[in-house]
A and B are shown apart, each in its own frame.
Chain A
């Protein structure tokens, strides 16, 4: 069970769009539509922002969207705002009652 692969960092200017990738294997991301994404601000607990690949919890901004193709999931943030600067983590169910997280991506809003 290896961690999912995410870029260490991404950046964008206010108003722009960015995409964060999350690459797994046929044993996790590729098999299960149970990919979730979490936003974590410094010193805070992670917060669920996407579940079941592309669903948003009520109250979460529609500037955040996500998708999956094969073994790769993606999170897109449109209309970047300063408050989007945070760490983002993907997570996938990996079968056999196991979960695996990505290594995390630091988003910098320039």
Chain B
């Protein structure tokens, strides 16, 4: 049974870098779209980006200049970095998996990140 688990600081200061990890268990970390999605408090879901086959990435155009997604296959985890954060980056961050059908079939439980001084 595939499981995803996010981890990282719950509080980040404005202008600093938000860093999160997602540990993958129960499956290979190759051959899927390993994705980050976020949800600001009381709002809807926003697709952030993915890493595929450990090397190909793509990002939401609205975040592209500040976001990096990478993978560490030896640790079975993929990571998200968001630079120069502001209060607008406060959200629950989810990691998720998508397959060939482009649907997100496995989700982590989510981790709340607050941007505040």
A52 proximal to B (CB < 8 A): yes
Pick the contact of B101 from A3, A47, A51 — CB < 8 Å? A51
> How many residue pairs at the A-B interface have CB separations less than 8 Å?
64
A36–B47 CB distance below 8 A: no
A97 contacts B58, C-beta separation under 8 Å: yes
Nearest-CB distance from A63 to chain B (Å)?
19
Q: How large, as a class, is the contact surface on chain B?
A: 20 to 34
Within 8 A of A (CB), among B31-47: 35, 37, 43-47
Q: List B contacts of A47 (CB < 8 A).
A: 107
In the complex, which of the residues A1, A55, A57, A91 contacts B60, with contact meaning CB atoms closer than 8 Å?
Answer: A1
Beta-carbon contact of A51 and B103 below 8 Å = yes
B105 at the interface (CB under 8 A from A): yes
Q: How far is the CA of A13 from the CA of B20 in the complex (A)?
A: 41
| Minimum CB distance partner of B56 in chain A | A97
Complex Cα–Cα for A56 and B98 (A) = 15
How many chain A residues touch the partner (CB < 8 A)?
Answer: 26
- Determine the chain B residues whose CB is within 8 A of the CB of A93 once the complex forms: 102
B45, B60, B103, B109: the one contacting A104 at CB < 8 Å is B45
The interface residues of chain A lying within 8 Å CB-to-CB of B104 are: 36, 38, 46, 48, 91
Closest partner residue, chain A, to B47 (CB atom):
A99
- CB within 8 Å of B: which A81-110 residues: 89, 91, 93, 96-104
Binding site for B on A (CB under 8 A): 1, 3, 32, 34, 36, 38, 45-48, 51-52, 55, 57, 89, 91, 93, 96-104
| B binding-site residues for A, Cβ under 8 Å | 35, 37, 43-47, 50, 58, 60-62, 94, 98, 101-105, 107-110
